[in-house]
Amino acid sequence: MTNYPRAVLFDFDGTLADSYAAIAASVNHVRAAHGLSPLPEDKVRPHVGRGMPHLLAQTVPGCNQAVDQARYRAHHPSVMKPLTRLLPGTVELLAALKSEGKRVGVCSNKPRGFTRDLLHHLGIDTYIDVVLGPEDVPHPKPAPDMLRAGLKRLGVAPSDALYIGDMVVDVETARAAGVPVWVVATGSDERQALETAKPVRIFENLTDVLHALVEC
């Protein structure tokens, strides 16, 4: 790896981890409170990544955001650890970045407490220098606030950083923050949508990302 990037920031759901089963379970817990039948994971997945208000609005007809977000938050700790797994290549990529002295952050629309708990549970928290969620900034992704806050904490300029996500919203966020963006086709958005968004590069998985960084 060369001196660039000095820092790499990641999305979480669909980028570092497959958490869709856990998210679907909590969505269905909220749906059950409304007398609604459960949704299969593939019907929940496209709505993940834009924040909890969007997720519930799209999956729970007639939802009450205050009440249903509280229901989701109360339920999610019971399912998120057993139903979340790291995506292939995550540990190897984070370890390589750490060994090269890169600064590493996570900027996700997932509530920060859930992200922190999962990073620890999955054994990768020691690789991460900063974790930000929607409660840390005025506006969640695709606003640039979270990335800008992460870069400020890491002491790195946008031009010296790289953001890696799995969705069009991640491309929009990075572009608004002036940060180059790579995406992996492992998350909520189809590859065609990712190609249309025109990130700098698109990869099939994080193993390919590691190979590309080594070649930089």
Active site amino acids:
11
User: How far apart are alpha carbons 133 and 154 in whole angstroms?
Assistant: 15
Question: Do 16 and 10 form a contact (C-beta atoms < 8 A)?
Answer: yes
Report the candidate in 58, 57, 108 with the shortest Cα–Cα distance to residue 84.
Answer: 108
Report the candidate in 52, 42, 2, 53 with the shortest Cα–Cα distance to residue 20.
Answer: 42
Q: Note the maximum CA span of the chain.
A: 55
HSE-up of residue 183 (Cα within 13 Å, Cβ side): 28
User: How far apart are alpha carbons 37 and 162 in whole angstroms?
Assistant: 41
Question: Do 182 and 201 form a contact (C-beta atoms < 8 A)?
Answer: yes
Question: Do 157 and 177 form a contact (C-beta atoms < 8 A)?
Answer: no
Give the pairing of strands 161-165 and 181-184.
parallel
H helix and E strand count, the chain? 10, 8
Q: Which two tokens stand for residue 81?
A: 């650890």
